[in-house]
Amino acid sequence: MTNAALIVAAGRGTRAGRGAPKQWRRLAGRRLADWTLDRFRMAPGIDLICLVLNPDDAEQWREFDGLDGLVLAIGGANRAASVRSGLQALQAHGVKKVLIHDMARPCVSGDIIAEVLTALDSHPGAAPGLPVTDALWVGANARVTGTQQRSALYTAQTPQGFQFEQILGAHLAHTGAAADDVEVARTAGIDVTIVPGHPDNLKITQPEDFDRASRILRQDHMHTRIGNGFDAHRFQEGDHIILCGISIPHSLGLQGHSDADVGMHALTDAIYGALARGDIGQHFPPSDPQWKGADSQIFLRHAVALAAEMGYRLGNADCTLICEFPKIGPHADRMRTRLAEIMGLDIDQVSVKATTSEQLGFTGRGEGIAALTSVTLLRVWSALQPGLQRSAALVICARLRVLGARWSPCPWLGCFIPSAGFHYWCWPR
Ligand code: MG
């Protein structure tokens, strides 16, 4: 069963002021369209996006053509015609529910998308609405000529959701313009239930709407997660230890199933912790012989790639090694450099420091080494970033798609990461 979002971006938006059509204008550091598309890309339950483009937007046609999870359709003379074109383009994809959305509503929340999808389990149509709270006047020539009862009135928002076959039929039968898809649906006798809208789900219409939307989006952009990790490994016979990715000659080794890199394990766990995705033992069970003697960078790279898949990048990482010996100070900068390489960070985003436990406990008795770590993860809103790197990646991606692969190149990690249906670009910003 496929659920699709149909996003209408074919308008010219003349009321939003001069310049490019509003959907391609900058808003809080990126294009308005990038924000809206991300909302649906990240929404659980949306499998496919149909983007309706104006035939004149040649650059955007080139940009979006062939992307995974995206279907393109040509816009028509008015909104209803554009939606009809999008629905027809989706016909071949076995769509069950479709959510029709204005590109000009970039602040739509995941909650609203989820509410509409859920309501469609038990209703043929569902759309967000806000009860009107202001008094309503009727006026002419700048004078109030009457008042309007507001108790039964709502302002309509999108996404407006429908059972696909029903709304397709309604649009094919509809002639002329319509205020929105709810009007088209109701004309065809489709019952539409109202789910709660939100004042932040504004439609950018006037130039000043960009400022308001920008404030809302920047708040979201700041979304941060924090994780901590702890690990300890016991000394055993040996002649070196692996700590934070580098080998240090020592009179003892560290015991462990993998290479026993206690610092890297704690760092990996901090990332899993920040993502609320379990711990290193769940992802790489010690009972699994394939991880015997494994280079621990495999674990750390996995955690960083998982963060990228979930829409996060690392902000910084801090690692404290607790031991009486060996001395960490002389090696700390090499450790930072190595960890920064693996995590795709600059060295000034990575800290490695050490302490003793004043000869107390197992570290104090020299029985092993412990590590404590913290990381921050920052929300990445960089899908579909314009730029040279992106174009290069698009080419690589297109090639891989031909080969049937579903991997996204991630220059930030310096590797390819598997992508679940969509490509997430994770360029550092
Ligand atoms: Mg460990």
| Per-residue pLDDT at 311 | 78
SS (H, E, C) 212-276: HHHHHHHHHHCCEEEEEEEEEEEEEECCEEEECCEEEECCEEECCCCCCCHHHHHHHHHHHHHHC
Q: Distance from the CA of 335 to the center of ligand 1, in angstroms?
A: 17
Question: Each residue of 91-147: pLDDT tens digit?
Answer: 999 999 999 999 999 999 999 999 999 999 999 999 999 999 999 999 999 999 999
Cα 428 to averaged position of ligand 1 atoms, centre (Å): 30
Interval between CA 259 and ligand 1 midpoint (Å): 9
Peptide bond into 326 cis (omega under 30): yes
C-alpha 109/C-alpha 123 separation (Å) is 21
pLDDT value of position 409: 52
Separation of 284 CA from ligand 1 center, angstroms? 11
> What single-letter DSSP state applies at residue 281?
H
Q: How far is the CA of 136 from the centre of ligand 1 (A)?
A: 66
pLDDT at 393 (0 to 100) = 53
- The whole-number pLDDT of residue 415 equals 54
Ligand 1 centroid to residue 246 C-alpha, Å: 16
288 C-alpha to ligand 1 centroid (Å): 14
What is the reported pLDDT for 309? Answer: 79
Q: How far is the CA of 265 from the centre of ligand 1 (A)?
A: 5
The top-level CATH class assigned to 2-221 is alpha beta
Q: What's the gap in Å between 146 CA and the centre of ligand 1?
A: 74
CA of 266 to the centre of ligand 1 (A): 7
Cα–Cα distance for residue pair 387/427, rounded to 1 Å? 10
Torsion of CA 216, 159, 383, 213, to 10 degrees: -20
Identify the pLDDT of residue 292. 87
d(CA 129, CA 166): 21
103 near 92, Cβ under 8 Å?
no
pLDDT digits (tens, 9 = 90+) for 168-180: 999 999 988 889 9
Whether 2-221 and 224-381 share one fold: the answer is no
d(CA 156, CA 128): 6
Other residues' Cβ atoms within 10 Å of the Cβ of residue 236? 13
CA 239 to centroid of ligand 1, rounded, Å: 19
Whether domain 224-381 has CATH 3.30.1330.50:
yes
Other beta carbons within 10 angstroms of residue 81's beta carbon come to 18
Its pTM stands at 0.59
Q: What is the pLDDT of residue 400?
A: 53
- Parse the chain into domains and list their residue ranges: 2-221, 224-381
**What is the reported pLDDT for 427?**
35
Low-confidence ranges of the chain (pLDDT < 50): 382-392, 395, 399, 402, 411-414, 420-429
**Cis peptide upstream of residue 409 (ω within 30 degrees of 0):** no
Rounded to the nearest whole angstrom, what is the distance from the C-alpha of residue 319 to the centroid of ligand 1? Answer: 14
Ligand 1 centroid from CA 264, angstroms:
8
Q: Which of 153, 112, 116 is nearest to 136 (CA)?
A: 153
